[in-house]
């Protein structure tokens, strides 16, 4: 029997644990523990770990096991830089009437789910719907390379913010609601450059917060 389905099962299990905050930076586990937990041999576990290692989520330590890696704050900010550049580009294209119309219904759906998750302190659902709100914006320009770039970094960003909230005991994430509400309202009104300005202003404020907390070099 091929090990490919087992590799996928192990990969998705570990990834889910990461994104749910069950495996936080510094958490150490072994192939044997996962094999026993999932009822499979260590071979598919090893292959799954190798995939996650390439993605930067974990690191294999000789004779010790597998450790969950953290994400450098400067790398986090670079990811935000990249994604904000994509959002700005998409809004410029939409403003120039170059592509399909925005799916305002889907945008509103993700915003409403974000608000509900915030009220219930469901950190993953909150950030996930925020990211999917922005994905809906990017999806309107039908550029698969931009979409692939977004997905490449989405889960790493999601892992960081969920882990940070859980380990740092930060306040409930209400602040983003105002930003997404403003972006949605500007998009619904067809004021795309104002939506772009809101995103840029938020990025500037976020950098200032990181600097104040000595989280950037």
| pLDDT tens-digit series, residues 75-90 | 888 888 999 999 999 9
Sign of CA dihedral 60, 64, 68, 71: negative
Q: Would you give the distance in Å from CA 140 to the centre of its chain?
A: 19
Q: What CA–CA distances, in Å, run from 149 to 23, 83, 103, 161?
A: 25, 9, 20, 19
Q: What is the pLDDT of residue 35?
A: 95
Structure tokens given for 85: 């550049």
Q: Which residues contact 142 (CB under 8 A, 6 or more apart)?
A: 99, 100
pLDDT of residue 169: 61
Say if CB 71 and CB 33 are below 8 A apart: no
Phi/psi region, residue 63 (left: phi>0; alpha: psi -120 to 50; beta: rest), is left
Average pLDDT over residues 185-209: 87
Residue-wise pLDDT tens digits, 120-133 = 888 788 889 999 99
Averaged pLDDT, 63-79 = 86
Q: Which of 16-20, 103-107, 120-124, 178-182 has the lowest mean pLDDT?
A: 120-124
Print the SS3 string covering the chain: CCCHHHHHHHHHHHHHHHHCCCCCCCCEECHHHHHHHHCCCHHHHHHHHHHHHHCCCEEEECCCEEEECCCCHHHHHHHHHHHHHHHHHHHHHHHCCCCCCCCHHHHHHHHHHHHHHHHCCCHHHHHHHHHHHHHHHHHCCCCHHHHHHHHHHHHHHHHHHHHHHHHHCCCCCCHHHHHHHHHHHHHHCCCHHHHHHHHHHHHHHHHHHHHHCCCCC
Report the pLDDT value the prediction gives residue 174, as an integer from 0 to 100: 56
Unique residue bearing structure tokens 């009822």: 39
Answer whether 13's CB lies under 8 Å from 43's CB. no
Domains along the chain with CATH numbers? 4-68 (1.10.10.10), 73-212 (1.20.120.530)
Give me the mean pLDDT over the 55-59 stretch.
91
pLDDT at 216: 43
Q: What is the pTM of this model?
A: 0.77
């Amino acid at each position: 029997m091929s090990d490919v389905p087992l590799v996928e099962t192990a990969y998705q299990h570990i990834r889910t644990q990461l994104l749910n905050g069950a495996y936080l930076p510094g958490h150490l586990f072994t192939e044997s523990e996962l094999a026993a937990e999932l009822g499979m041999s260590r071979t598919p576990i090893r292959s799954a770990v190798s995939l996650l290692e390439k993605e930067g989520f974990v690191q294999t330590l000789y004779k010790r096991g597998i450790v969950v890696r953290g994400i450098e704050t400067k790398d986090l900010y670079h990811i935000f830089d990249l994604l904000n550049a994509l959002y700005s580009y998409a809004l410029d294209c939409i403003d120039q009437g170059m592509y399909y119309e925005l799916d305002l219904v889907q945008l509103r759906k993700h915003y409403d789910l974000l608000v509900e998750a915030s009220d219930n302190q469901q950190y993953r659902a909150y950030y996930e719907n925020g990211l999917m709100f922005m994905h809906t914006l990017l999806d309107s320009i039908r550029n698969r390379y931009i979409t692939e770039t977004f997905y490449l970094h989405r889960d790493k960003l999601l892992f960081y913010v969920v882990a940070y909230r859980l380990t740092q005991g930060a306040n409930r994430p209400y602040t983003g609601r105002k930003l997404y509400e403003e972006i949605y309202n500007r998009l619904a009104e067809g004021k795309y450059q104002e939506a772009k300005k809101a995103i840029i202003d938020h990025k500037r404020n976020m950098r200032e917060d990181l600097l104040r907390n000595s989280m950037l070099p």
